[in-house]
Amino acid sequence: MSKARRQHQITRLLEREHILNQHDLAARLARLGVEVQQATLSRDLAELGAVKGPGGYRLLPAAAAEPAPAPRQRLTQALSRLLLEASIGGNLLVLRTPPGQASPLAVEIDRASLPGALGTIAGDDCIFVACDSVPGARALLRQLRSMSAAGPSPTGQLQRN
């Protein structure tokens, strides 16, 4: 199945049904004959502008009508909404998000292909970003903080650790 058709099915499900989590969404897609891995589903949800709240997933109203922004722009938007605090330990960055938001932010960090970032590991509310060096980690931390400050943050100020 093409990406466009899969995302269309996801959009229809999110508009019509109460979807609590990605496992629930994947099961409903499977009943429609759409087999999808969790990583692909996470990317699709991020691209569609789906957000997860206490009541499950929902689409932002204008998400379907607007063209997808560039990876760096999406990352700036995600950082300004989701990054609560950032700290460094050696060549690792530790990023904190609201519960359930680490994976979507990690996907955007990976997609942006930032210099010095080798990859991410996301839990529920914490992301580890592996960097190529300690100086690379410091530079990336400065860049992420700067990008986070580029947009309004409903979650408050980024803590400077």
- For the chain, the straight-line distance linking the first and the last C-alpha, in angstroms and rounded, comes to 45
Structure confidence at residue 102 (pLDDT): 92
> What confidence tens digit (pLDDT) does each residue in 126-136 have?
999 999 999 99
Residues of the chain above pLDDT 90, percent:
56
pTM (predicted TM-score): 0.56
- 3-class DSSP state of 141: helix
Q: Please name which of 151, 58, 156, 45 lies closest in space to residue 106, comparing C-alpha atoms.
A: 45
Domains of the chain: 3-59 (1.10.10.10), 71-160 (3.30.1360.40)
- The tokens of 62 are what? 């204008």
